[in-house]
Amino acid sequence: MAKINILPASVYNRIAAGEVVERPYSVVKELVENAIDAGAKNIEVEIAEGGKRLVRVTDDGCGIERDDLQAAFLPHATSKIAKAEDLDEIMTLGFRGEALASIASVAKVTIVSKTEEGAAHRIDCHGGKLGEIIECGGGKGTQVSVEDLFFNTPARQKFLKTDKSEESDVSNLMTRFMLGNPDVSFTFTADGRKVAQSFGDGAEAAMVSVYGAKILKDCIPVKAEKNGIRIWGYIGNQNYFKANRSYQSTFVNGRYVTNSTLQMALYNAYAGYMMKRQYPFYVLFLTIPPEVVDVNVHPNKADVRFANNQIVYAAVYSIVSSVLDGSAKALDYVSKDVKVRSTYEGAETESGQKPKEPVFSEKKSENVSKASQAQLKDSDKALSSSTEHLRFQSQTWNDRERDKTFLRQGQPSSEGKAVEPAYRSMFTVEEARAEIERSKPKVQIDLPFPAQKNELAVFSSAVRGEAKEEDAFAENKKYLAALEEKKAKQAKIDVSACVFRGTLFQTYLIYERGDEAFLIDQHAAHERLIFDELKKKMENRAVAVQPMLIPYLLTTNVCETEFLRGQLETLRGMGFDIEEFGGGSFKVSAVPTDLQTIDLKEFFSDILSDINGLKGIRLAELLRDKLAMAACKAAVKGGMELSRQEVQALFEKMDGDMGLKCPHGRPVVVRLTKTEIEKMFKRII
């Protein structure tokens, strides 16, 4: 058996750094959280080369005593907790005491700090090797400089993204800090360029700093208390949705988290108003008794675990759904302290005062009814008594599955009745559209197919200029394509050998050939033929550009900006004249001629619909969806009576391909043999 070795600090700190310090944004996160915990009201963050060369965080917090400077670099050294019992009531962002030691083991770190009374001192730590403490000049607070990240672990450097991508991740992180700490002033600079700034003027001002002034007119400020949980913030109204989840922020006791229980509660509250591929906007803060929240469940503290998911779910769902539905209780939940306006001038309210963060007062608002006050007190008592016996235990797999099942089945309301999950209206729009299509009058088929000019105008993308990228499954795809081609050849039959025998239910065409019968779905067949025709025209089109009289301005957040920035050449190759316009926006000055009536808002919404999962714009997939939609609208419908000439024209256009499928994957033809039919009638066994 191999000898067991006790690893030295230089080794286990590097191992710990793999969890704590993943990339430059991890360094920024840990240092800014330390600054916030130190009581800083002004924090400056500066990075260079995406944070690879430099990350510097300067704050005006309480500072570090001279005698504690060396201890700050020791593993598990922290000022946030002192004993095991403190873990049950954590209200600070940091508490493990491993971040600075991990960062210093893989970078060159310098700390300059000054307390209220003492002088400023400096200490260096390069690759885990501590330097001497030197007295120097400096103002109250702490400045931490991290240079040459992963200089002694070159293998980790290979996994870092480009400078712009790393900068984008840090920018996204800084927007969360600005939203989550509206009373703190932040300044973020990258390569000498100011990227973002907030002034610590409250939640409304923070929203404007991150998303712009127009965001306020589409949001509803909420402030409520239910089941002992205080909830406040901003939620998008019933008609305000985004193309992806990057506009969603939830903060639990001041900590930004992505928690499945909260996401499900908010999703279900909005489900009755959303269409497919839409996501709600919200910036919500939850204040929950720390003894019922476990923050020590994720390496980066990006998630929390609740002692009772049902209570949290019910509180969030009932409050948000009540506000959206406009129920009587909504008046108690909508914040009356924040005035929302469509413009934001000088960060002042209508009364001339600076907007303040809507903070909970220990004294209930006078506007809240006495009955509501009594209900809130009762819920506080109920939660307090129910949490006396709760302890933080690791959830088993069965516990998690039980919680998921519970969320699917519904949550109890305050009256004890089950609340039906709001899945009920998810597909209402599509069903209505389908009903409209079925009720359209009979149309004539004109073959060969006419140019679908109007349909081409609504395509979301084109095949030309699609970004090429390595495909790890290229060989598998090639093999599957060969199988499909072989299958298609085997499915080909001689059209002249088939005899038309009639129509079933005015939808299925019946053809006979020898001992075989073919049932053809007239809608699926026509839809596939139109789809192939439109696709061929789009692939062979010559790109011509049509300048726009008024350029279209696309406003994006940090994640979307970085994503589109890497796709500009692809979009230009399609015929779009697009350029970055500054301030998180893009200007579109021209569009392809055959797409000149395109809905640009819908087009970019499609592109940005899943920015976290896409490595590039998959134009072929976007195109296929639009082509399929156009073909479906133009094709004959089931139940339409076709003339004999139209039936024959449709069958001949299929060219004997009995293996066709419609663009949505449904089979066009079903083949029945004489033997199969005789077995149905028990003629043979």
> What's the one-letter identity of residue 192?
G
Residue 95 is classified by DSSP as -
| pLDDT of 247 | 92
Can you list the positions of beta strands (E) in 425-570?
499-504, 508-513, 516-521, 545-555
| Percent of the chain predicted with pLDDT > 70 | 66
Question: With 80 as the cut, is the pLDDT of residue 429 above it?
Answer: no
| pLDDT of 96 | 58
| pLDDT of 244 | 87
Which residues, listed in sequence order, are joined to residue 510 by a DSSP beta bridge?
Answer: 502, 519
The Cα–Cα gap between 20 and 29 comes to 10
The Cα–Cα gap between 240 and 47 comes to 34
The Cα–Cα gap between 173 and 186 comes to 12
The Cα–Cα gap between 241 and 609 comes to 11
Number of C-beta neighbours around residue 196 at 10 A: 20
pLDDT digits (tens, 9 = 90+) for 102-158: 888 889 999 999 998 889 999 999 988 888 999 998 889 999 999 999 888 888 888
CATH of domain 445-672: 3.30.1540.20
- Comparison of pLDDT for 611 and 317, the residue scoring more: 317
Question: With 80 as the cut, is the pLDDT of residue 34 above it?
Answer: yes
Structure tokens at 638: 């089931």
| pLDDT band at residue 227 under the 50/70/90 scheme | confident
pLDDT digits (tens, 9 = 90+) for 457-484: 344 333 334 344 444 456 666 666 666 6
Contact (CB, 8 A) for 45 and 56 = yes
**DSSP codes, 175-244:** HHHHHH-TTSEEEEEETTEEEEEEES--HHHHHHHHH-GGGGGGEEEEEEEETTEEEEEEEE-TT-EESS
Question: With 80 as the cut, is the pLDDT of residue 58 above it?
Answer: yes
Which stretches of 271-394 are DSSP H helices? 309-325, 330-333, 370-386
Q: What are phi and psi of 226, to 5 degrees?
A: -150, 140
| pLDDT band at residue 501 under the 50/70/90 scheme | very high
3-state DSSP assignment of residue 419: strand
Question: With 70 as the cut, is the pLDDT of residue 84 above it?
Answer: no
Under 8 Å CB-to-CB from 389, ≥6 apart: which residues? none
Contact (CB, 8 A) for 663 and 627 = yes
Distances (CA, A) of 46 to 39, 40, 552: 20, 16, 33
| pLDDT of 223 | 92
Under 8 Å CB-to-CB from 616, ≥6 apart: which residues? 467, 469, 566, 567, 570
| pLDDT of 595 | 67
Mean pLDDT, range 183-204, rounded to an integer: 93
- Comparison of pLDDT for 29 and 541, the residue scoring more: 29
| pLDDT of 478 | 67
| pLDDT band at residue 364 under the 50/70/90 scheme | very low
pLDDT digits (tens, 9 = 90+) for 516-553: 999 999 999 998 888 888 777 766 766 678 899 899 99
| pLDDT band at residue 12 under the 50/70/90 scheme | low
Contact (CB, 8 A) for 423 and 270 = no
Number of C-beta neighbours around residue 512 at 10 A: 15
**What is the rounded average pLDDT for all residues in the chain?**
75
| pLDDT of 140 | 92
The Cα–Cα gap between 670 and 221 comes to 56
Cis peptide before 448 (omega within 30 of 0): yes
Number of C-beta neighbours around residue 488 at 10 A: 13
Of how many residues is the chain composed?
A: 685
3-state DSSP assignment of residue 536: helix
| Percent of the chain predicted with pLDDT > 90 | 31
Tokens 């940091």: give the residue.
Answer: 94
Which residues, listed in sequence order, are joined to residue 235 by a DSSP beta bridge?
Answer: 220, 282
| pLDDT of 612 | 58
The Cα–Cα gap between 173 and 169 comes to 6
> How far, in whole angstroms, is CA 676 from its chain's centroid?
50
Structure tokens at 421: 């999950």
Which range scores top for mean pLDDT: 65-74, 189-198, 323-332?
189-198
User: Nearest Cα to 88, choosing from 392, 429, 451, 443?
Assistant: 392
| pLDDT of 568 | 84
CATH of domain 9-199: 3.30.565.10
Per-residue 3-state assignment (H helix, E strand, C coil) for 274-292: CCCCCEECEEEEEECCHHH
> What's the one-letter identity of residue 491?
A
Contact (CB, 8 A) for 477 and 468 = no
How is the chain split into domains, by residue range?
Answer: 9-199, 212-344+358-419, 445-672
| pLDDT band at residue 76 under the 50/70/90 scheme | low
| pLDDT of 144 | 94
Question: With 60 as the cut, is the pLDDT of residue 285 above it?
Answer: yes
Contact (CB, 8 A) for 120 and 136 = yes
> What's the one-letter identity of residue 146?
V
Q: Which of 102-111, 202-211, 273-282, 533-542 has the lowest mean pLDDT?
A: 533-542
Tokens 């133009």: give the residue.
Answer: 634
Contact (CB, 8 A) for 234 and 219 = yes
Distances (CA, A) of 408 to 239, 265, 419, 422, 475: 25, 11, 11, 10, 39
Contact (CB, 8 A) for 631 and 538 = no
pLDDT digits (tens, 9 = 90+) for 567-611: 788 788 777 899 988 777 899 999 877 667 778 888 888 778 766
Question: With 60 as the cut, is the pLDDT of residue 366 above it?
Answer: no
Contact (CB, 8 A) for 279 and 247 = yes
Under 8 Å CB-to-CB from 260, ≥6 apart: which residues? none
The Cα–Cα gap between 629 and 675 comes to 38
The predicted model scores a pTM of: 0.61
3-state DSSP assignment of residue 145: strand
Dihedral angle of Cα 65, 66, 68, 72, to the nearest 10 degrees: 100
Distances (CA, A) of 341 to 214, 261, 328, 619: 9, 32, 24, 39
Question: With 50 as the cut, is the pLDDT of residue 184 above it?
Answer: yes
Q: What are phi and psi of 525, to 5 degrees?
A: -65, -50
Structure tokens at 101: 């030691």
Looking at CATH, the fold of the domain delimited by 212-344+358-419 is given as Ribosomal Protein S5; domain 2 (3.30.230)
Which residues, listed in sequence order, are joined to residue 199 by a DSSP beta bridge?
Answer: 185
Angle between helices 558-565 and 163-180 (to 10 degrees): 170
Question: With 90 as the cut, is the pLDDT of residue 427 above it?
Answer: no
Question: With 70 as the cut, is the pLDDT of residue 407 above it?
Answer: no
Number of C-beta neighbours around residue 579 at 10 A: 13
Q: What are phi and psi of 154, to 5 degrees?
A: -60, -25
Q: What are phi and psi of 48, to 5 degrees?
A: -135, 135
| pLDDT band at residue 436 under the 50/70/90 scheme | very low
| pLDDT of 503 | 92
Strand bridging mode 516-521 / 508-513: antiparallel
pLDDT digits (tens, 9 = 90+) for 616-628: 455 556 666 666 7
Structure tokens at 6: 């006790």
